[in-house]
């Protein structure tokens, strides 16, 4: 039952001042302060950044970069340039191709460029993890070092993802590019009610956020805070033994309220049960997260609607061996069911994308999710696309991300092994470059 009034339009709390204060608080919680950024920047010494202005967080820019000698992979076409060269300047790809094709670009950056010899290794675009939970700068840095140069937040507790989103434009190499989801639209908001004065009235709801009016209100508050995407749920968590991940907490009508209030922003939905997944798909969500018990009919509907599928295999299979017998049993039961669902969905035209559901600094490398997708039945190239071109398309970066092309994101990995033939190759990361800055070089 709705116990308070909502305006039909988003309520913008004494407008910009309140939004600024809310996000300023989120930035402090995330460690996005002058001191926090300075400390993190010094720890990322390989970024080779130089000052580019003043402010509470000083802007920097990465020196030009030439990565040469490796086999450069285009995931979209499967084409490989042997003894290839990638030239990055101002955080974007200036040129990519053979030595002859890139000779002029290499000369243009001259001796100021940093050079990395990738001979005997493979160069792939930076990977995209479409399901993470980063509540602090340390979380974002851990994701980046593990190979995820772009991410989609699966919600944060106090808008920290919104506060961190601008970091790549300010300090290259400090954090991945991010699509932010803000507050989880869920029956129980917990401490997130403290994140925003516009959410405070919901604390008096005895049954949580369940009416379509209240659900729409939380969604609109997220929109007013500038989120890129909205995260909601149909079922509880599988990773908490006391919860039943097949219980339905939001039905199709409730999920439709989220989609409508999102005002065109993509909605990702945490769902396990067949009923929950189907209701979310028919409500119009953009992607299903986890999706263990997806039905045959819903797979067809997902293909028809172009609903993406983020199975988070690393998170589900990671429950196997848990010290909690309930979680261990779930992992053993769910993993083969989910792998079969991934294989069938992919074969029937559903776009499968890679997401680890990593939380905090406990990061599953996105390369491991690629390997698990291969184990589920995708080819190594299709699994690589799930973490590059397909994922970039889902996040609205299809023209800039997921491939190494002139004018595209200056994000790449150098890995051991051919990722077109070897599903585990992108787990063996040697170099991470994000926004043109060298984040990691083993």
Q: How far apart are CA 62 and CA 271, in angstroms?
A: 40
Among the listed residues 80, 72, 66, the one whose alpha carbon sits nearest the alpha carbon of residue 117: 66
Q: CB under 8 Å to 124, separation ≥6 — which residues?
A: 73, 75, 384, 388, 412, 413, 415, 419, 426
> In the beta sheet, which residues pair with residue 133?
359
**Burial of 200: CB neighbours in 10 Å, binned 0-12, 13-18, 19+:** exposed
pLDDT of amino acid 244: 97
Q: How far apart are CA 332 and CA 440, in angstroms?
A: 35
pLDDT of amino acid 341: 98
Among the listed residues 254, 217, 216, the one whose alpha carbon sits nearest the alpha carbon of residue 234: 254
H or E segment to which residue 95 belongs: strand 92-97
Per-domain residue ranges for the chain? 126-403
pLDDT of amino acid 185: 98
Sequential pLDDT tens for the chain (442 residues): 343 444 433 344 444 446 666 777 766 666 766 566 666 666 554 444 443 433 345 556 789 999 999 999 999 999 999 999 999 999 999 999 999 999 999 999 998 999 999 999 999 999 999 999 999 999 999 999 999 999 999 999 999 999 999 999 989 999 999 999 999 999 999 988 888 889 988 988 988 999 999 999 999 999 999 999 999 999 999 999 999 999 999 999 999 999 999 999 999 999 999 999 999 999 999 999 999 999 999 999 999 999 999 999 999 999 999 999 999 999 999 999 999 999 999 999 999 999 999 998 899 999 999 999 999 999 999 999 999 999 999 999 999 999 999 999 999 999 999 999 999 999 999 999 999 999 999 8
pLDDT of amino acid 85: 98
- Please determine, looking at this structure, whether the domain spanning 126-403 carries the CATH number 3.20.20.140: yes
pLDDT of amino acid 191: 86
217 contacts 2 by C-beta, under 8 angstroms: no
pLDDT of amino acid 419: 98
Specify the pTM.
0.91
Q: CB under 8 Å to 311, separation ≥6 — which residues?
A: 290, 291, 338, 341, 342, 352, 355, 373, 376
Q: Which two tokens stand for residue 193?
A: 């009610």
**Burial of 151: CB neighbours in 10 Å, binned 0-12, 13-18, 19+:** buried
DSSP 262-307: TTT--EEEEE-SHHHHHHHHHHT-SEEEE-TT--HHHHHHHHHHT-
Helical H segments across 319-433, by residue range: 325-347, 366-376, 380-386, 389-394
pLDDT of amino acid 14: 46
287 contacts 269 by C-beta, under 8 angstroms: yes
In the 8-state DSSP scheme, what is residue 386? Answer: H
Torsion angle of the four alpha carbons 419, 420, 421, 423, in this order, in degrees rounded to the nearest 10: 50
pLDDT of amino acid 231: 98
Q: Angle 34-43/137-145 helices, nearest 10 degrees? A: 20
pLDDT of amino acid 31: 72
pLDDT of amino acid 43: 58
């Amino acid at each position: 039952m709705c116990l308070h009034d909502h305006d039909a339009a988003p309520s913008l709390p004494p407008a910009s001042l309140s939004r600024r204060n809310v996000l300023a608080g989120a930035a402090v919680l995330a460690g996005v302060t002058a001191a926090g950024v300075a400390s993190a920047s010094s720890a990322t010494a390989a970024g080779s950044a130089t000052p580019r202005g003043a402010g509470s967080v000083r802007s920097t820019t990465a020196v030009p970069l030439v990565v040469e000698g490796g086999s450069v992979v285009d995931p979209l076409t499967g084409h490989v340039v042997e003894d290839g060269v990638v030239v990055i300047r101002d955080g974007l790809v200036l040129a990519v191709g053979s030595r002859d094709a890139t000779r002029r670009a290499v000369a243009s950056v001259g001796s100021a460029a940093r050079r990395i010899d990738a001979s005997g290794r493979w160069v792939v675009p930076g990977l995209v993890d479409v399901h993470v939970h980063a509540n602090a700068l340390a979380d974002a840095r851990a994701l980046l070092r593990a190979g995820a140069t772009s991410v989609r937040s699966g919600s944060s507790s106090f808008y920290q993802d919104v506060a961190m989103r601008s970091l790549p434009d300010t300090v290259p190499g400090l954090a991945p590019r991010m699509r932010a989801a803000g507050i989880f639209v869920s029956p129980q908001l917990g401490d997130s009610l403290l994140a925003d004065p516009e959410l405070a009235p919901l604390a008096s709801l005895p049954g949580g956020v369940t009416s379509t009016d209240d659900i729409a209100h939380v969604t609109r508050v997220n929109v007013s805070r500038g989120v890129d995407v909205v995260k909601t749920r149909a079922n509880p968590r599988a990773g908490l033994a006391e919860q039943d991940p097949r219980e339905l907490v939001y039905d199709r009508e409730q999920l439709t309220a989220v989609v409508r209030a999102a005002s065109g922003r993509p909605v990702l939905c945490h769902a396990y049960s067949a009923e929950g997944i189907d209701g979310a798909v028919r409500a119009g969500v953009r992607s299903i997260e986890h999706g263990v018990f997806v039905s045959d009919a819903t797979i067809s509907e997902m293909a028809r609607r172009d609903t993406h599928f983020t199975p988070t295999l690393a998170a589900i299979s990671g429950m196997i061996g848990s010290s909690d017998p309930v979680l261990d049993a779930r992992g053993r039961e769910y993993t083969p069911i989910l792998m079969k669902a991934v294989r069938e969905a992919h074969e029937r035209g559903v776009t499968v994308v890679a997401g680890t559901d990593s939380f905090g600094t406990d990061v599953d490398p996105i390369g491991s999710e690629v390997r698990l997708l291969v184990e589920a039945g995708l080819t190594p190239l299709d699994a690589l696309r799930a973490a590059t071109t397909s994922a970039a398309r889902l996040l609205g970066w299809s023209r800039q991300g997921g491939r190494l092309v002139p004018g595209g994101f200056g994000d790449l990995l150098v890995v051991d092994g051919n990722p077109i033939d070897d599903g585990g190759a992108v787990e063996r990361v040697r170099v991470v470059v994000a926004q043109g800055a060298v984040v990691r070089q083993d």
